[in-house]
Structure 1
Amino acid sequence: MSMSMGDMPAGSMSMGDGVPSLFTLQKMYWAVVGSAIGAATLVNVLDRVIGSHRMRDPSLTPAKPKSLFFNIYATITATVREAGYATLRPLRLGGLTLHFPPLGRVLIMLANLVVVMVLCFYKLDTLDPWKWENVGYRTGFIAICQLPLIFLLAGRQNIIGFLAGMSYVSLNWYHRWVARTLWLTTTIHMGFWFRNWGRWHYITHQLYNDPLTQRGFAAWIILTFIVITSFAPIRQLSYEFFVIQHLVTFVGFIVAVWMHAPDEVKIWVWIPIGLVVFDRLARYTWGAYANLAVFHRKNKTNSLWAHSATFTPLPGNVTCVTIENPGIGWQPGQHVFLTCHSVAPLQCHPFTIASIPEDNKMKFFIRAENGGTRRFFRYASKSDSLLGDEQVTGMSETTVFIEGPYGSIRPLRQFDSVVLLAGGMGATFTIPLLRDVVLAWKMESNGSKEQIPSRVARLTATKRLRFVWVIRSRSQLTCFDSELHALLADVNECRRTHPDFEKEIDISIYITCDEKLDPPISASLPLQTMSPPTLDTFAQDETKNVSEKDNISIHSASANPTSTPPLVVTGRECIPGGGCCCTAQIEEEESNAACACTCSGAEPVQSERAVLDMKSLRPEDLTNKTMISPNIVSGRPTPRTIIRKVLEKAEGESAVVVCGPRGLADDVRWSVVSLSDERAVHKGTGAQGIYLHVENFGL
């Protein structure tokens, strides 16, 4: 007796009356998978149609459904979203925090698991020892037919992603869990053969003497190793090692499966190999076009390669990498894989593009962690011993290679109101999205009809923008200093030249911990109207509040405290060596707060407000009482309060986008689900839907 399925054509053999053949069961599995992909494709097409319709809608509320069909679709969408976005609270086990995926993903993977288990055991009696061999055959056939799905979900040039409008990053989660379902299926397959042989104490004999059993057992061992190393705590130990071992073990697994499988099912092995070849050919072809200078004569260079980058060190162990006139286009929120062999040989890392196409340059802000990112920072700062000094000499150019762009998010211009929340370097994802909408405001305000295609009536349906950035230290503001200045200057210019300009933008920066602030800043006035500061005020506060080492030009000006009772702040934490952290949840930015630094014994400081650098202001701005400026708050935001205030004004579908640590992402998910239920979007109250996009850190 053998674990092999190659002794006889097992695919069409009968396992009893009314029991489908093994080939039929494989087709049934792919009928289910194909139906799921088709449904996702239909939703993607409808979303694109809706987005296009909003750009052509001349009414004052383009983001609000106006037909029976779209009202029904919006109601169904809101109901599905509310269930799909829900997630459990993190589970803390000692020093380990376990975060759970959203319910939508879990339900999809549970559905896949149920389908696989039903197909494995349909009309088979697992308690009958004489049927164990049939179960072994059945589970083997079901296991091998799952291989193509795993590879369809893994490629960067992703067919499913193209059809469903999803990034390969999102699909990669499904890739891992389908692989784990495959591991369970193969374990059951092996277990029933072992169980069958165990009745005659035949397991050891098979493992030592049967080549087919040995190959199958080797494939299971390799797959087990792949599954174990794919868990986040392990794969995040070293990105470079994970990628290399994943490729090597993948090759070993495919070879072992091909040698173990009978000829009649080898097609399920050839399909994944074909998908991998397609993915590589597509990537290398596009990579050659993107990186060879011959295809980009506009660069006017005699070099073979199209792209060179400057590396500049910034405070906080951050490297700014800038590529002028890149040879490819991209959309805000996308990322590329960046390679620089002269600095980090044979390494390729994904980085979010922190600029927009209108800048005519790709900019990346890369925090030094381990491996290649640390080498980038060392290379940038090797000629400058003092970071943040104005005489930075680390802007040396070197050849780089880019692959991409990748990433997918529904265009935010189609939504009535947009809330963007970022934690730390998550701003590299959200700020380009913010700038893209403001750019559309600016072009519409300037009457740039040549920028508006003839088939659309507007560039954006967005009326309100709310941007929240949570950072540890104000030194991180240096990354987007010029971008924030230009953005706010554009909005202020639109308001100055067009009194009827009704767009709203609200920017808040929460600083949770800053060793250079002693005592820390505290919650400030709401970002609305303010009295114009004088030039003397700018000069005084520039000297008083800004550290030279930070090299920051978004300065702060003290505001007089009001009679509002101070917000009670209890979240304080000392930083070794001085300074302190203000970890309090800020419910209302309108309230003055005093976050005392108990470490240094300093007195609490009242509110502060960031204003535009005076170099970016014109004389008329100084008399404009509606000038927009960022609101700086010491503490942590309350996403639910922030999102609620925007939704209360929304006249159409809103979008909430978050990029940052898992804790922030979880808070935003809970807030969106809770507010959707509270507002009864799906119960005919007239409230509009909420689209949520979570861009995760890490692999």
Structure 2
Amino acid sequence: MAGPTAGGGGPAQFPKEYAARQAMNQEATIYFAAAVAGLIGIVTVFHLVRVAARNASLASAPTVVASPFFYASRLLRNVLLRKVPGLPSAGHACLAVTYVALNIVLTFTHLLDNPVMSLKSNVASRSGWLSLANMCLAIFLGMKNTPLGYLTTWSYERLNSLHQIVGYTTMSLVIVHAAAYTDYFGASGNLARLRVIDETYGIVAGFTMLTLVVVAFTLRRRYYELFYVVHVSFFVLTIVFTGLHQPDIPKRIFVITATGAGIWVFDRIIRIVRVCWYSVGNTATVYPLPHGGTRIVLRKPPAGARSGEHCFLWMPSVRLLEMHPFTMAAMDPLEFVVASYDGFTSDLHKFARASPGATVRASVEGSYGSFPDPAAYDKVVLIAGGSGASFIVGMALNLLQRVRPGYRQSVEFVWMVKDYDHFDWFAGHLSTIRHTLNASISLFVTRSPQPDMTITLGQVDLHNAATPYTPDSAPGSPVDLEEKYPLPLERPRSALVRHISDPEKSGADSDFSSPVSHLSASPAIPYLQPAQAAGRSHVHGIPITYGRPDVSEIVRKAVDGTPVNQRVLVMCCGPDGLTTEVRNTTARSISRKGPTVELHCEQFGW
């Protein structure tokens, strides 16, 4: 983007050559934008055609003309849905490889071929233009209110891995841009050019962007709150100094920078307006749960929200300047169930324990998240690991509200936890799901019960228990409130899980970090009464099995047992090992002659 002057030639000495190079750089930027739009168009069309075919029930009996499309679609999904290292799926990997290759090709091709302009200066200029275009793309993919959420099944959290790849690519182009120009100026004896104020602004912008990348590698997973503050602050600095680096509007470089800034500001304005709107007359009531859990009941939910989606929660009494995303486990009233890990969630649980049943000022922003309509499928398989049940329970309750009268639908619900007291977080909802949906519910405890951990639902340690959540202190609900909001059973212990319900934090339950295996419980344990085994035997009549299930077998049996003219939806939320196993097994189960299979993995691990 910069250009040499004294000592190396510049626009004043070679105006035609520089004008020609700028025109070619603009063309390359347009090619890049067109190629990215084409990739988005391909994904969008593929998604919309599949949705239209599913709604028309064409997949169960495809015509001669449509058969090649359906068979090709299933073959592709069998491959593209599978997990690959570092990315959610092979489909993400294909997009990433195509995108990186596009940048490499455009950086080193279609360059000005003129003896006056050196290759190094041409590459430096081109990489500068492309870095700006990529920065705009990174901002677009990072939008919370992204239009891609309406065009495809990918809302912002599912685009985050691509957002990161674009960010790293942008940083790489900036490094090429800076290194090539520095070498060029040095070879032409014009290093003084780097002390020009416009170039100084560019150097500062490069280092602020480098800080974003370094912080993403080092702080994002361990200290998310600190990462977020640094990320936003240094992003703003990067935009400002990039604009100052090339402030000339006629060059059109400034226009690209202003476009990226405009996208970001527009998204922020939408979010701020929502927070202000939903803060009017809104309150949250908090209740402590066993094992570091916290239940939050909000008075005023966001318009059009559905259980299973998530929104950003603001509770100034806990932390004034922070908002965090949590899954909406239930609606009417809006309910969050939050696992305590660190930072905000830890402070939230401490507040709930200190003031159980307290009602405080709150607001929400959202809702976000996109997923298939579970009511559109003949069989639904819901699999949760740890606190991933927030999403899976939300989907079951979502289905409960959307299922058509008289329509018999097969629902399988599988939930794995490390300690059985976690079942108390959703005990009432499990009972509702079982009886209202006639669902098959399987509950698994992956840790063997300890003799001193025996406790049954309704027993309360009066010395340690907090004020109970009773019908007198809670808003009404279609479910019996004593079941929906069970009494706290014991003093919450140290956090055992990362916060899967928080999409902007890494989620990893160590007990599920590797693919689950065949049931490993002792045959003498699973169905014993609490007096015979040191653990509960059921939750509201739903048996508890001690051991790890064979998740792959559960998915295979669900798909194989479905007629070819029906549709199966597999949904999973939990740690990496669990979602990888579910993802790969479901992908392998998509066959040319089998039922229609859809997969949705809700995993927030960045």
Equivalent position to 1:487, from 417, 422, 433: 433
Aligned Cα RMSD in Å? 3.6
**1:253: Cα distance to partner?**
0.4
Question: Are residue 308 (structure 1) and residue 269 (structure 2) matched?
Answer: no
Q: Distance in 1 between matches of 2:216 and 2:423?
A: 35
* 2:382 aligned to which of 420, 437, 443: 420
Q: CA separation of 1:223/1:691 partners in 2, compared to 1, >3 Å: closer, same or farther? A: same
**Alpha-carbon shift at residue 63 of structure 1 (Å):** 6.9
Structure 1 gaps of 5+ residues are 55-61, 90-98, 292-304, 384-393, 446-459, 493-504, 521-541, 555-574, 576-580, 597-602, 614-629
Corresponding residue of 2:603 = 696
Are the aligned partners of 1:424 and 1:470 in contact in 2 as well (CA < 8 Å)?
A: yes
Deviation at 1:171, TM superposition (A): 1.4
Deviations 1:570-609 (A, max 9, x none): xxxxx9xxxxx999955369x972579xxxxxx9969996
For residue 404 of structure 1, the aligned residue among 366, 380, 398 is 366
Length-normalised TM-score, structure 1:
0.71
Choose the corresponding residue for 2:31, options 28, 31, 34. 28
- Alignment pair present for 1:46 and 2:32: no
Match of 2:109 in 1: 122
For residues 660 and 77 of structure 1, what CA distance do their matches in structure 2 show? 27
CA contact (8 A) 2:62 2:70 kept: no
Q: Is the 8 A contact 1:86 1:102 kept in 2?
A: yes
Identity of aligned residues (%): 23
Are the aligned partners of 1:471 and 1:512 in contact in 2 as well (CA < 8 Å)? yes
Offset from partner CA, 1:43-63 (integer Å, 9 cap, x none): 343344345435xxxxxxx97
Alignment counterpart, residue 216 of structure 2, candidates 227, 230, 251: 230
In the alignment, structure 1 residue 170 sits paired with structure 2 residue 82: no
Q: Distance in 1 between matches of 2:577 and 2:235?
A: 33
State the 1:485 CA deviation: 1.2
Describe how 1:190-201 pairs up with structure 2 within 5 A: 190-200=178-188
Q: Quick one: structure 1 residues 611 and 188, their matched pair in 2 at CA, closer, same or farther if it must change by over 3 Å?
A: closer
Change (3 A) 1:310 1:211: same
- Amino acid of the residue matched to residue 223 of structure 2? S
1:370 corresponds to 2:342: yes
8 Å CA contact 2:311–2:367 kept in 1: the answer is yes
Match of 1:465 in 2: 411
| Matching of residue 319 in structure 1 with residue 280 in structure 2 | no
336-345 or 42-51, which deviates more: 42-51
Residue 657 in structure 1 maps to residue 571 in structure 2:
yes
CA contact (8 A) 2:419 2:445 kept: yes
Structure 1 residues 216 and 440: alpha-carbon distance in aligned structure 2, compared to 1, 3 A threshold: closer
Question: How big is each residue's C-alpha offset from its partner over 1:387-429, in whole Å with a ceiling of 9 and x where there is no partner?
Answer: xxxxxxx111111101011111111222232221111110000
Q: Which of 269, 272, 289 is the equivalent residue of 2:257?
A: 269
Amino acid at match of 2:204: A
Secondary structure (helix, strand or coil) at the match of 1:235 reads coil
* Structure 1 match to 2:538: 610
SS in 2 for 1:134: helix
* Pair 379,73 (structure 1): closer, same or farther in 2 beyond 3 Å: same
- Larger Rg, first or second structure (1 or 2): 1
- In the alignment, which of 666, 674, 680 is matched to residue 588 of structure 2? 674
Separation (CA, whole Å) in 2 of partners of 1:553 and 1:410: 29
Conserved 8 A contact 1:584-1:635: no
Moved more, 639-648 or 210-219: 210-219
- 1:440: how far off? 4.6
Residues 1:361 and 2:295 are matched in the alignment? no
Aligned to 1:136: 124
Q: Distance in 1 between matches of 2:536 and 2:228?
A: 46
User: Given residue 433 of structure 1, which amino acid in structure 2 is its aligned partner?
Assistant: M
Per-residue CA shift, 1:211-267, capped at 9, x if unaligned?
A: 233222221111111112223x52122222222111110111011111112531111
How has the CA–CA distance of structure 1 residues 517 and 53 changed in structure 2, closer, same or farther, with 3 Å as cutoff?
farther
User: Which amino acid in 1 is paired with 2:184?
Assistant: N
Contact 2:450 2:534 in 1 (8 A): no
Aligned pair count reads: 546
Q: Which residue type is aligned with residue 117 of structure 1? A: I
TM-score (norm 2): 0.81
CA distance in 2, matches of 1:354, 1:12: 59
Cα distance in 1, alignment partners of residues 145 and 241 from structure 2: 26
Structure 2: distance between partners of 1:10 and 1:237: 53
Closer, same or farther in 2 for the Cα pair 1:470/1:4, shift >3 Å? farther
- Whole-angstrom distance in 2 between the partners of 1:346 and 1:29: 38
Deviation, 1:282, is 2.1
Change (3 A) 1:327 1:691: closer
Distance 1:315 1:605 in 2: 21
Whether 1:508 and 2:442 are equivalent positions in the alignment is: yes
* Structure 2 gap ranges (5+): 469-481, 485-495, 497-510
**Structure 2 residue 79 is matched with structure 1 residue 83:** yes
Matched, 1:444 2:405: yes
Asked whether the 8 Å contact 1:216–1:256 carries over to 2, the reply is yes
Q: Secondary structure at the match of 1:465?
A: strand
Moved more, 115-124 or 72-81: 72-81
Give the 3-state SS of the residue equivalent to 1:145 in structure 2.
helix
Q: 1:112 aligns with which of 99, 102, 109?
A: 99
Distance in 2 (alpha carbons) for counterparts of 1:662 and 1:201 = 54
Counterpart residue number, 1:248: 233
- Per-residue CA deviations over 1:142-181 (Å, capped at 9, x if unaligned) read 2222222111111111123322232111112211111111
Out of 317-326 and 19-28, give the one that drifted further: 19-28
- Go from structure 1 to structure 2 and tell me whether the alpha carbon gap of 1:510 and 1:63 turns closer, same or farther (over 3 Å shift): farther
1:2, distance to aligned residue in structure 2 (A): 6.1
